[in-house]
Every structure is written in structure tokens, then in C-alpha cells.
Amino acid sequence: MKERSLSGILTSAIIIVVLISISFTSGITYLLLKRYIEQESKEKFKIQRHQAKSLLSLRISQLKGRLRSLINDNTIKVTLLLGVIPQLRERMEMLYFPENGAYFYVEGTIDKVIIPSPCDLHKELIKRILNTDKEMELFESFKGRPLLLLSKTIERRYEKVGRAVCLYLLDQDRGLLKDIRLTARGEIYYRSGKRDAIGLISGKRIILPDNFHLIEDGVEVGVGEKKGLISKLDIFSGLLLFSDLSPLEKTKKEVLLILLSLSIAALSLGIGIALILAKRLSNPLKEASERAQKISEGEYNLDLPPPDEMPYLELKVMSKAFNRMLRSLRKALEESESFYKTIFEASGTGLTIVDKDTTILLCNKVFEKLSGYRREEIEEKMSLTEFVHPDDRDRMLEYLRLRRIDPSLAPHEYEFRFLDKEKNLKNVFISVGMIPGTKKNIASLLDITPIKKIQEALRESERRFRELFESSKDVIYVYKDGEGFLEMNPAGEELFGYSRNKFRKMSFQELFWDSKECAKFEEEIKRKGFVKDFEAALKGNGE
């Protein structure tokens, strides 16, 4: 697995934190702004609804005012009473002409003539109104069109002289629709069915939600490619107001674009800050880690950068503590080096540190004396095998190979023949051990050549003594209290008639006839350490 640098980790961490923070903040901000804009749009829609309602109420009030003027017009009353149709028609055409979808008609009680003459569409409506004597104010649908019906009785001196009728078709009142559209920025729709409505301005049809009758403040609907809020106008049942939300959607997109731009700018700034902070923090750590690596490789003379050069308190504390630890370590190493160097040099044997390729890395003075070379000629230049007799060299190399595999496979101590600078042959006893954690060996070499010579002299002396012991005509024996006879030469075997093995099982007293003489003999031996010219009667195998 590839190791990542601290700088990369810090940079990534800061960028991730910045990215999450910006995303979270931008998301929350966008949602809050969106909610605020939507609430503002709904509040604005309420105002528009109020404005539209006010405009419509004003128009209806104006119509009612004109209708009142008509029933209070004395000329109209007189002409109706006298049945003067031409003058009545002239008066109606001059003062109460059709305007903005409003049509005014009068009917006299005498001849039942409707003035002015209605068109076929209006005639049906007027007859329905005039069939009742009641005054009427009715808003309803007439062949899919919103219609307001007003009727009043015309009286003169408390005597009924006729009826006045106002037919108001909202879809023909362009002035009203224009005012609503300009003032309220909305469009009037008329509900023609349970779920559909037709725009009085555009003529477009929309499908209303199932629960539209439960909504008072407005609900979102689609009109073609547009989305908008639609709500009831409480003046007349089935009359609706639609407000286009396209500007709102545009505002939302603009807000989102602004937030995205700000987020990108903030992210870029955050990345820049992250890189600066990471560099400011990681550069000292990188330098400290490089120095620590060199220190671990043996360059103990180095220190971490001083605390004054570290940018942060934690790094200052770390640098100060690490340098203090290094000084203690250097002091301990110097003491340890001095201690072990003294032991190394003061050792009575030749000591060497041998690398895995048998190169001698260090040696002491005893080894110099043993080899005949100066230390400068040996260390890191000569191999230990150069001092080994050719007949012993393969054995030593095999031991070194096995020791690197498993130290228990090779003997730790053995002898070999050593060749010094002058090619003098020496007998050397070597002790070898692995230095823990390395492939290096420490070897202690002891020159046993003098010991070998003494051993050879002892063997020669023993050989000569054995020849004298065996060939002597006098009886010679070796006796030890508590153990009996240890040795008996052939002359003793012949004199007493016992074999050498038999003597090893006998005590000294068994050879004397008289035990008193034996005791006297032993006393003389203990007192003087020897006996000379002592006569005694001894037993033999033949008595």
C-alpha cells in the first residue's frame, strides 16, 4: 500500500472539511432563501388576490351605481309611464349604452317592450329575469361564460312603472381584465367544470387539483409551460385568480447560480488556505522527519529544527523535547561507547567485529599483536578468512553460513590454525556470537599455542614415566586412602601374584601379615611422607 504524506492528508482533510461546510452552508442557505422567496411570493399573491378582488368589487359597485341611476332617471320613468318608445330608446342609447361587457335594458309594465332590443343571446336571459317580480343579483355561468345578473324595479311615486336589467359578462370587460393583469399581475379564470377552468384573458384551459376547494391561499398549477399559483376569488363562486411563477423560478435559478459561484469561490479560497496551512505545517514536519530518519541511521550529531523555527506551539514543544532527548541519547551513547571501547580494548583476547561477508570492521590491540598487522591495515580492508589456515577455511565459512541461518546450528567455540603476517602458524581458540538485530558477528580469539606446547610436553613426560613404570624391576604402585590401589606395575604383579585388576579391588592392609606392622608403616608415611628401609612380612598369591 502506497504511503501518503502528511501534507497530502492535511490538504485532503481541509479540502473535505471546506467542501462539506460550503455544501452544507450553501444547501441550507439555498433552502432558506427558496423558502423565503416562496413565502414572499405567496404573500405577494395574497396582495394580488386582494387587489383583483378590490378591482372586481369596484367594477360591480360601478355597475350597481349605473343601475341605480337608471331606475332613478325621471325621463326614463316618464317615458315608461307614457309609453313613448322612441324617446325611451333614444334616452337608453345615449346614457346607458353597452360598455365593458355591461348591457342595460328596461321593460315597461304597460306594453312589455324591452328597450333597447336585445340580441337573441340576451333575450333568453332577460325573459328569465323578468318572469320573476323579485329584484335579483346573481352570478352564474351562462353557456360556459361568467355572468352577473342585476335587476331592479322602476317606480314613480311608489307605483311600479317598469323593470331595469343589467347583464354583465366578465369575459367581455377588457378594461377590468387589463387592470387586474396590470395591477395584480394575474389572470382571471372561470371554473367551468369540476376540475377545469378557462382563462378569461388567454382562453387557456387548466386542470385543477382534486383538493382545490380546500385551498384558500393558493396552489401551484401548470398552464402550458408555465407554473403559477391559483386561488379563489371570494366575490363569486367559480372565479379564480392565477399568478405566473416564472419570475420566481427565474429568481430561484439566479440565487442558485449566485450560491454556486460563491461556493466555487469559497472552495477555491479554502483550497488555497488548505495548501498554505498544509505547507506551513508539513514543511517543518517533513524536515523534522528527514532529520529523524538520518538520526535513526546513525547521524547522531544532527538535531531537529530549533523551537524558534517551528510555526506552532505543539511543534515547538515536540522539537524541544526531541532535541533534549537527543542530547541525553548522545551523552548516553558517548558513555556507552567509551565503556564498551574500554572493555573492547582492555580484553585479554583478540576481539573483532566481523561483517556478514567476513570483513573485519573493528579489532582491538590484542588482535593487532596476534596478527602482526596495524589496525589501519585490518579494519574494513581484510577478511577474517585471510588469517585462517587453508585446511580450516572451509570449515569456518560453513560455520558462518549456518550461524546466519540459525545460531544453534554452528558451534560457538572451536579451534583453528591462525596465520599471522609472517605466516607463522598459531593455534587459536575462537568464540563467536551473532550481534542481535544484525548479520554481524563478534569473535574472541585466544592464542593457545603456549598451552598446546605445555600439553605436548606433558604428554611426552607421561609417556616417559609410563615406560619407566612399566619396565622397572622394582615394585611401583599408586595407592590412595579410601580408594585403594590405583596402579601397579608388572614387577608388583609378578612379586605378589595378583593381576592389576585384582589390586584395584584390594586394600593396603590385605598385603600385611601383621596388622601392627601395617599400622606402623602407615604412621611413618603420614609423619614423614616416605618410608625407607622398612622391613615387613607381606602376603602373596601363593602365601
List of residues 6+ apart from 50 with CB closer than 8 A = none
pLDDT score for 281: 66
Q: In 3-state terms, the chain is what percent helix, strand and coil (to 5)?
A: 55, 20, 25
Q: Kindly report the pTM of this predicted structure.
A: 0.49
Amino acid, single-letter form, for residue 346:
A
β-bridge pairing 219-223 and 226-232: antiparallel
Terminal Cα distance for the chain, rounded: 98
The CA distance from 216 to 46, in Å, is 10
pLDDT in tens, 470-490: 788 777 777 777 777 778 888
The CA distance from 180 to 55, in Å, is 7
User: What CATH architecture does domain 72-174 belong to?
Assistant: 2-Layer Sandwich (3.30)
Phi, psi of 431 (to 5 degrees): -120, 125
> How many degrees, rounded to 5, is the angle at CA 345 between CA 342 and CA 349?
130
**Helix or strand or coil: residue 453?**
helix
Q: Residue 356 forms beta bridges with which residues?
A: none
The three cell numbers locating residue 191: 371554473
The closest alpha carbon to 392, from 421, 362, 430, belongs to 430
Which H or E run contains 456?
Answer: helix 449-471
pLDDT score for 1: 43
- Out of 1.10.3720.10, 3.30.450.20, 3.20.20.30, 3.40.50.1970, the CATH code matching 347-453 is 3.30.450.20
The CA distance from 176 to 341, in Å, is 114
Phi, psi of 294 (to 5 degrees): -65, -40
> How many degrees, rounded to 5, is the angle at CA 344 between CA 339 and CA 347?
120
Same fold, 72-174 and 347-453: yes
Alpha-carbon distance values, 216 to 49, 231, 235, 245, 425 (Å):
11, 6, 13, 18, 121
The closest alpha carbon to 89, from 107, 110, 102, 101, belongs to 107
pLDDT score for 62: 92
Segment-wise mean pLDDT, segments of 10 residues, the chain, 543 residues: 57 76 80 80 84 89 92 90 88 89 87 83 80 79 83 87 90 87 82 80 80 65 76 79 79 81 80 73 70 70 69 70 76 76 82 90 90 91 91 90 84 90 90 85 89 84 81 78 79 79 79 80 79 77 57
> How many degrees, rounded to 5, is the angle at CA 187 between CA 184 and CA 192?
140
Longest distance between any two alpha carbons in the chain, whole Å: 208
β-bridge pairing 186-191 and 159-169: unpaired
The CA distance from 135 to 116, in Å, is 20
pLDDT score for 69: 93
Domain ranges of the chain: 72-174, 304-338, 347-453, 472-528
Kindly write down the DSSP assignment for every residue of 273-286, as one continuous string. HHHHHHHHHHHHHH
CA 309 centroid distance within chain: 30
Phi, psi of 517 (to 5 degrees): -65, -35
**Helix or strand or coil: residue 495?**
helix
The CA distance from 428 to 416, in Å, is 6
Strand order in the sheet with 196-199: 205-207, 196-199, 186-191, 239-244, 226-232, 219-223
Phi, psi of 188 (to 5 degrees): -85, 130
